Amino acid sequence: MHRSFYYYIVAAVTTAIAGILHLIWTSSIIGKAPPAISIFFIVSGLAQAFWALPMIKRWGRKWYYIGLAGTVILVILYAATRVPNPLTGGRPAPTNEIGISILIFETAYVAITATILVREKRMKKVSDKEQLR
C-alpha cells in the first residue's frame, strides 16, 4: 500500500468519528431541543459519517472539495454560535467536551483533506510534465 493512501484513511476516520459524535450528541438532545436542531445534527452526523466513503474509495477532487466545504461550514457555525448573536438568542451556546471533540476531528479532517488536495495537484503537474517528454 502506497504511503499516501494513509492520508485518505485518516481523513475517512476523522470525518466518520466527527459524524458518529454528532449522532451521539443528538441522541442526548432529542426531546430537549427544538426539532429543527435535532434534525440538523442528525443530517450533519449522517453526512459526515457517509463522507468516509468518498475518502476511502478515493472518488476524486470534486468529492473532496464538497466534503471540505461542508465541514468548514460546520466549523464556522460552531464558532458563530459560541458568541452572542441572534442565532443563539443573544447569548452564546454552551461549550462542552463532545462539542470540542467534534471540532478537533472536523479541523483534522479539513487539514488532512487540504493536504490531499495539494498533493494530488502536485502529482498531476508532475505526471503532465512527464507526458510532455
**This prediction's pTM:** 0.87
User: Of 26-30, 36-40, 54-58, 129-133, which gets the smallest average pLDDT?
Assistant: 129-133
CB 109 within 8 A of CB 71: yes
Three cell numbers at 104? Answer: 478537533
Percent share of the chain, pLDDT over 70:
92
Q: How many CB atoms lie within 10 A of CB 31?
A: 7
**What are the tens digits of pLDDT across the range 58-101?**
999 999 999 999 999 999 999 998 888 887 788 888 889 999 99
What are the structural domain ranges in the chain?
A: 5-132
pLDDT of residue 2: 73
- Mean pLDDT (the chain) is 90
